[in-house]
Structure 1
Amino acid sequence: MKAPKLTAIILTYNEEQHLPRCLASLDGVVDSILVVDCFSTDKTVFLAENNGAKVIQHSWTNQSTQFNWALSQTETTEWILRLDADEYLTPELQSEIRGKLSSMGNDIEGIFCGRQMIFQGRLIKHGGLFPIRVLRLFRYGKGQCEKRWMDEHIKVPGPTADFKGNIIDHNLNSLSWWIDKHNHYASREAVDLLNLRYKFMPHDSIATFSLRPGSGSKRWIKENIYANLPNGFRAFAYFFYRYIIRCGFLDGQEGMTFHFLQGFWYRFLVDAKIAEVEQYMKKTGCSATRAIKEILFINVQPTST
């Protein structure tokens, strides 16, 4: 049976450190690679083109907008693989894609795989986080990225299948870089949580009530349980759940750093930003969208002022 054409889409900005590893994991797996670059100032574009990828540059709004724009620029293909530049495919997932994609029934519109994370050189195994099931393979024309400011996922309307292999997220930048990135992430996540309260944007979500661990069930818990807990307290509760109840302490020193920073500091920072926006709204009487622009410096293209 002839293998279907598969195109990988990678969004980049100054990813010269990670991109060669990512592209190497796609060798012999995909037919073409589209790199959508946000005007990198390092060797990202050179490395991408030197490894046979097609590069298009496009200004940045957020991950969701950039990826959906990339889909509109994709040439004729049958399947799309979404991959971040600091991620790579395991040999098991490479083998599954090469061997099983051609046998997918015509009704299958998306394929889930696992996603694992390496933090400061250590594979995070505890805390109830990884491997998480994510939809990264989908039929061209069937999938689209959620229209969100943070934690966006691919959604398809039809049936899906599962591969056992994993995508590894292994960022090699410093802890200072990680903290700065998550400060920006916290502003974007604050926008999505504020939207649950004030509904200034359409709500686009893959949230699904399910006992099966995955991105859909995780999103349902976040939107229907976590979001309704008191600001600040929920960060403590979430960290306690991850680090104590789900045994995050078994991930050692690196795991303690990761679970504390990502499971408590980051979540508390999100809540602090939400509180600051709401205090500004109360003080000035302005809308949520205006307060977000003034406090978080994010223009969410408000429907009202």
Structure 2
Amino acid sequence: MDKADNLTVVILTKNEEKNIVDVVRNASRVTDDILIIDSGSTDKTVELAEQENAKVVYRAWDNDFAAQRNFAFEHTDKEWILYLDADERLNDELVEAIKSVANSSALKQYSIVRKIHAFGFEYKHGIFKPDEVLRMFPTNSVKWEHKVHERPICALPKERLAGFIEHYTYDSWQQWWDKAGHYTSIWAQDNYAKGKRTTLAACLVHSIYGFIRAYFIQLGFVDGWSGLYSSFQHSIYTMMKYLKLYELEQRG
């Protein structure tokens, strides 16, 4: 099937030179209209993206992922919009499904199954188990909310596309630690501004439950050692969120 000429693929970037060529070429399988929303890369991300014929626009980073995604609406006039992260790749079946939808007259929002690869392991269970993400919409039907762990708001019926995304996330523990520190700070600041408060006891309870949910409820133990340490990761991540919220409260 021919590429969709009424679809924009949006990719958020900052210092993604190791991923940018592959993700643009992968996205180019469904459309030639690739839009990069860059938040100030200091490596070769922008140069490489432009060499691959992607359109690059800049928006200063203000700790708001939803705002970055919503900014894309100012730079496309296409009927459909698809969001893809720099470390994600569409598989063959999904490529065909996306083109089919974009070339139809459907009025729906579409979710995609995402398989997560982290630390050299493909997860089947636990906190990194395959998930389902809403990513494709008629352009004028969706807005994003929340500064971190952002989500789309769309009133249209939902349908899941065939195929899946391969998500090649954390390469190293340091990469996870850096991102976790950044995301938990944004979460704490955003929730403090919204009036959310916590206690040290609640920090501990949330952290313990985070481990129980990942390791037992979501069957992380089935993935062996990888499931065990990813469950501890989630526990630490959860505690960091609430400790930072508590710290903000104490500072007044």
Question: Is the TM value for this pair above 0.5?
Answer: yes
Matches within 5 A, 1:1-305: 3=4, 5-61=6-62, 62-74=64-76, 76-105=77-106, 107-108=107-108, 110-127=109-126, 130-146=129-145, 148-171=146-169, 173-195=171-193, 197-198=195-196, 230-261=202-233, 263-281=234-252
3-state DSSP class of the match of 1:99?
A: helix
Q: Please give the per-residue CA displacement for 1:27-63, whole angstroms capped at 9, x wherever unaligned.
A: 3212300111122111111110111101112211121
SS at match of 1:133: strand
SS in 1 for 2:175: helix
**Distance across 2 between alignment mates of 1:93 and 1:8:** 14
Aligned-partner residue type, residue 157 of structure 2? P
User: Matched residue of 1:230: which SS?
Assistant: helix
Identify if the C-alpha distance between structure 1 residues 104 and 259 changes in structure 2 by more than 3 Å, giving closer, same or farther: farther
The structure, 1 or 2, with the larger RCO (C-alpha pairs under 8 Å, 6+ apart) is 2
Counterpart AA for 1:72: E
- Structure 2: how far apart are the matches of 1:128 and 1:173? 17
Q: Number of matched residues? A: 247
Structure 2: 5+ residue runs without aligned partners? none
**Cα contact 2:6–2:102 (8 A) shared by 1:** no
| Alignment deviations for residues 252-279 of structure 1 (CA, whole Å, 9 cap, x no partner) | 3333332211x20100111111111122
- What RMSD in Å do the two structures reach over aligned CA positions? 2.3
Higher strand share: 2
Structure 1: gaps spanning 5 or more residues: 200-228, 282-305
Percent identical: 34
Aligned-residue offset at 1:159: 2.1
8 Å contact from structure 1 (residues 119, 258) kept in 2: no
Give CA deviations for 1:66-119 in whole Å, capped at 9, x if unaligned. Answer: 221122122x211001111111112221121123432352x32x1111122111
Alignment check: 8 A CA contact 2:116 2:128 kept: no
Which SS does the other structure have where 1:231 is aligned?
helix
Given that 1:127 and 1:243 are in contact with CA atoms closer than 8 Å, whether structure 2 keeps it comes out as yes
Q: Call closer, same or farther: CA 1:271–1:82 in 2, change over 3 Å.
A: same
**Which amino acid is 1:88 matched to?**
R
- TM-score, structure 2 normalization: 0.89
Normalising by structure 1, we get a TM-score of: 0.74
Q: Which amino acid aligns with 1:271?
A: Y
Distance verdict in 2 for CA 1:245–1:153, change over 3 Å:
closer
